Structure 1
Amino acid sequence: MSTRYDAAGDRPAAFRLYGPRFQTRPAELYRQMRAQYGPVAPVLLDGDIPAWLVIGYRELHHVLSHPEVFARSSRRWNAWDRVPEDWPLRPMVMRTPTVLYSEGEEHRRRAAAIGDALAGADQHEVRQYAVQAADRLIDGFCTATKADLRADYAARLPAVVLGRLYGLDREHAEVLADAMTTMIDSGPDAVRAQQFLLKTMGELVAARRKRPGADVVSRMIGHPAALRDEELIPDLVVVLGGGHQPTTEWLGNTLRLMLTDDRFAASLTGARRSVREALTEVLWEDTPTQNYLGRYAVHDIELGGQLIRAGDLLLLGLAGANSDPRINPDPDAPTGRGNQAYLSFSHGDHRCPYPAQELAEIIVTAGVEVLLDRLPDVELAVGVDELRWRPSPWMRGLVALPVVFTPVPPTGGQ
């Protein structure tokens, strides 16, 4: 159970940002933090490494809008001397040569190449392919009576479509999907999967330099930003990872909502409007990326009533900000369905690119609609309270989504 902890020095007592209580009931902890400290709460990461969690909507918007004060590069972090070499979160704070950790003009140059390359995708074609890919995945389990919609469907559909956007054929996209899932699951083969992805991206970049195509990789190569291979290759992996995991959890969490909430379950068949509403509600209530590392204070500053010291680490509490009572006074009522002011895709220079957000919505919408059309009587195979959330303070998603349904014949589509 997460409890307050009396940290050494002049820092106030902090909440541990890990443990079973955070895993199962994070919203409860956000409310407790807010009651104790307000919109900015002291927290402890694995190994009791101190940080601040920004859970106020206005305060988080301010942090994300002022990179000159709350910077991205971890070279400013004042707690490096407390971090052991084997710290499990070290890969998330190490400064790596990707767009994620770049700042200023370098970030704008690299982010422009990514955004423009994604914007070049034909959304109609992406939607068609997402529907076809969803049908193929459902064909893989539709003749049975049960499936795990996370492992068999939600974790695979985004990777397959992203592979297609990179110009890969179906077979290579499936291999890429497996590697992405293995890397993100952080199991014993995760490093090997990451090495495979970097190698694959290197080979793909070399091939596209010789023979460009109508794909994201070729557009990034030909962009006026003139990215070098050492920039292109890791950024392509970042785009894959950044697109795959949040989209997987968005799809899984939306399916969970529609299968467990009577407001949606009553109108599953052909319920296009309710699917859209479910997508938006998930971004407010169970946003896939609930917390994100991070920003570093350039100088001492007060934020949300707390004194932030130069070099302090601030965590972006996206889920906490979305549930801020100043914008959602009734925590038990679904947040405004037409309102898209959520911070689920972050904000400011480092926000998720708009084209990426649009493509993710296309994938998730197709994934939900095709599944409900193909398996109209699908329902949970376990009680709602038996569903388990992944043990991550960063992503909000289920370990599994077991369902049962009446078998149907495969479509046999290509």
Structure 2
Amino acid sequence: MRRLYGPEADTDLAAVYEKLRAEHGSVAPALIHDDVRVWAVLGHGENLHMVRTTSQYNRDARNWTALKNGTVKLTHPLAPVFGWQPICSMAEGAEHLRLRGAVTHALEIIDHRSLRRAINKACQEIINRFSERGTCDVVSDFAEHLPMMVMLDIFGASEAYSERFVQAARDMIKGTETAIASNEYIMGILMEATARRRADPEDDFISRLIAAPAALSDDEVGQHLRLVLIAAYEATANLIANVLRTVLTDPRFRAQLNGGQMTVPEAVEQSLWDEPPFSAMVAYYAKVDTELGGQHIRAGDALIFGIAPGNVDPAVRPDPTEHMQGNRSHLAFGGGPHECPGQDIGRAIADIGVDAFLMRLPDAELSVAEGELRWRSTILSQHLVSLPVSFTPRAQQDVVTKPSMVPPPRADWHVSSGSPKAASASAAAPEAAAPSASSVPTAPVAAPEVRLGAWQRLLRWWRGY
């Protein structure tokens, strides 16, 4: 029986799924950490049937035979993920409606114009940290920070944002020895924020969740904050990194984006098909004896919601390299009653984040060979370890303005605190001294060609400077 963890899976989990599909079909027996047996659901249709058929399957781990008989203990590395919690994604019936209604209520009140402003501001703040340097790591400097900064701002807990919080969020879902400690650290902060807003409500997500008609307890509020935060953070960080990696390494993809044949939102949607941020979800549990994909599933069995293998199921996608523009039937946001309620927020962060990065740093290029890129894989997700790029250093921008492309400093200028200043007189002859800002010639704007994308027009404008 094949393992969904360990050296082979860490190297290429997608290949493991395909071997399972070849050996067993659309539903296959597999092993997770500590060699615990589960069913890996690989078919697109089988996955949708499982998540939609609440009479046969749910997400309540208390139904798991292996947990009830002691085969799996709450010290299992994936316990923070599958362990029962008072959250909507693990409830059903009236309790599910009560808890999910509270989350939906809090999300629906979010003003999308304010959200876009918050995302733009976060993009500016983060890119300003490295724009003058001329180098950055897209993963650790940008993609891992943007969704966390935005989500904590939405929560009304922006003071919690820190490098430690970001890394704890990543560690929590890896199934490492420190995952439980990372979970406790995050929950401690979220519970403090909950108690603070219970005593002093404001116009933010936490306060709205507390004030929802469902009358959630502090524990229920804290658990749902973690659910929304980690789901949005991990998914969006991976999504941003995946899209920008594709732009930087795939000339055909980049040409379509530059030439206007593909918009940034379409590029994001394509990535949700090809490299879903969560490759799988642990777990669903059979409520009754049933059959799925030709396999006999016993009541109490655990099943992996196979997002990545379902997206490349030959039954729905015979050619896994084809572009799926306009098709949102991927499994990236789940399905059925537990479909992600905040997917539009994740899409907005990714769309604006990718666009802002390309707008601010249009000449960014991968600074290592593509073959040197490395991924870290878990059962739940696969993400880039690093994506180093280089670009022409650029001035910082006002964080309250939309990201825009500004010309790089001239060869005889240097950038300091976001403003061009004359180079030292000892480095140039008097007649070569930098001109005053008012005498800098205006760059000619090239006339746009047919189907020329906005990003490409700006890039040509910069090259003509």
**In the alignment, what sits opposite 1:309?**
298
User: Structure 2: how far apart are the matches of 1:377 and 1:158?
Assistant: 24
Distance (whole Å) between structure 2 residues aligned to residue 367 and residue 270 of structure 1: 20
2:349 alignment counterpart: 363
Give the match for residue 83 of structure 1.
72
In 2, the alpha carbon distance for the partners of 1:192 and 1:56 equals 35
Q: Which residue of 1 aligns with 2:145?
A: 156
The secondary structure found in structure 1 opposite 2:278 is coil
Corresponding residue of 2:326: 338
Secondary structure, in 3 states, of the residue corresponding to 1:25? helix
Distance, in Å, in 2 between the alignment partners of 1:205 and 1:84 is: 29
- Where 2:2 maps in the other structure, the secondary structure is strand
Give 2:436's aligned residue: none
Equivalent residue for 2:252? 263
8 Å Cα contact 1:183-1:191 kept in structure 2:
no
- 2:35 equivalent to 1:35: no
- For the pair 1:298 / 2:295, whether they are aligned, the reply is no
Alignment partner of 1:351 is 2:339: yes
Structure 1 residues 28 and 380: CA distance shift in structure 2, 3 A: same
Instruction: Kindly state the Cα deviation for residue 82 of structure 1 after the two structures are TM-superposed.
Output: 2.0
> Which position in structure 2 is the counterpart of 1:282?
271
Q: Percent identity?
A: 36
- Cα deviation digits, residues 225-252 of structure 1 (max 9, x gap): 1111121122112211111111111111
Q: Which residue of 2 aligns with 1:405?
A: 391
Q: Unaligned 5+ residue runs, structure 1?
A: 1-13
Contact 2:264 2:355 in 1 (8 A): yes
Give the counterpart letter for 2:364 in structure 1: V
Contact 2:374 2:384 in 1 (8 A): yes
Return the alpha-carbon distance in structure 2 between the equivalents of residues 185 and 271 of structure 1: 38
| Aligned-pair Cα RMSD in Å | 2.1
CA distance in 2, matches of 1:272, 1:155: 28
Superposed CA offset, 1:296-324 (max 9, x none): 11121111011111111100001111111
Q: Is the 2:85–2:223 contact (alpha carbons within 8 Å) kept by the matching residues of 1?
A: no
DSSP-derived class of the 1:311 partner: coil
Of residues 51, 54, 58 in structure 2, which corresponds to 1:71? Answer: 58
Instruction: Decide whether the 8 Å contact of 2:160 with 2:189 is kept in 1.
Output: no
Larger Rg: 2
More divergent stretch after superposition (250-259 vs 260-269): 260-269
Partner SS state of residue 390, structure 1: strand
CA contact (8 A) 1:100 1:350 kept: yes
Distance, in Å, in 2 between the alignment partners of 1:326 and 1:123 is: 37
TM-score (norm 1): 0.90
Displacement of 1:101 after TM fit?
2.4
Could you say what secondary structure the match of 1:292 adopts?
strand
| Change in CA separation of 1:410 and 1:403 when aligned onto 2, cut-off 3 Å | same
Deviation at 1:119?
A: 1.6
The answer for the alignment partner of 2:2 in structure 1 is: 15
* TM-score w.r.t. length of structure 2: 0.80
Q: 2:134, 2:394 within 8 Å by CA — same for their partners in 1?
A: no
- CA gap 1:272/1:248 in 2 versus in 1, 3 angstroms: farther
Residues 126/58 of structure 1: CA separation in 2 closer, same or farther (3 Å cut): same
Q: Following superposition of structure 1 onto structure 2, how do residues 7-406 of structure 1 map, counting pairs within 5 Å?
A: 14-80=1-67, 81-84=70-73, 86-169=75-158, 172=159, 174-175=161-162, 178-186=164-172, 193-266=182-255, 273-331=262-320, 333-353=321-341, 356-406=342-392
**Deviation for aligned residue 1:204:** 2.5
Between the aligned partners of 2:184 and 2:265, the Cα distance in structure 1 is 37
Q: CA deviation at 1:79?
A: 1.6
Q: Distance in 2 between matches of 1:91 and 1:379?
A: 38
C-alpha distance in 2, partners of 1:274/1:263?
14
Relative to 1, partners in 2 of residues 1:32 and 1:188: Cα closer, same or farther, differing over 3 Å? closer
Structure 2 distance, partners of 1:22, 1:189, is: 20
Q: Deviations along 1:90-135, whole A, 9 cap, x unmatched? A: 3333223333322221122111111121121111111111111111
Moved over 4 A (4+): 186-193, 267-272
Which structure would you say has the larger RCO, counting Cα contacts within 8 Å and 6 or more residues apart?
1
Q: Which moved more, 1:255-264 or 1:363-372?
A: 255-264
Seen in structure 2, the aligned counterparts of structure 1 residues 204 and 410 have a Cα distance that, compared at 3 Å, is same
Deviation at 1:55, TM superposition (A): 0.8
Distance 1:73 1:60, change over 3 A: same
| Range with bigger deviation, 64-73 or 339-348 | 64-73
> Structure 1: which amino acid aligns with 2:302?
L
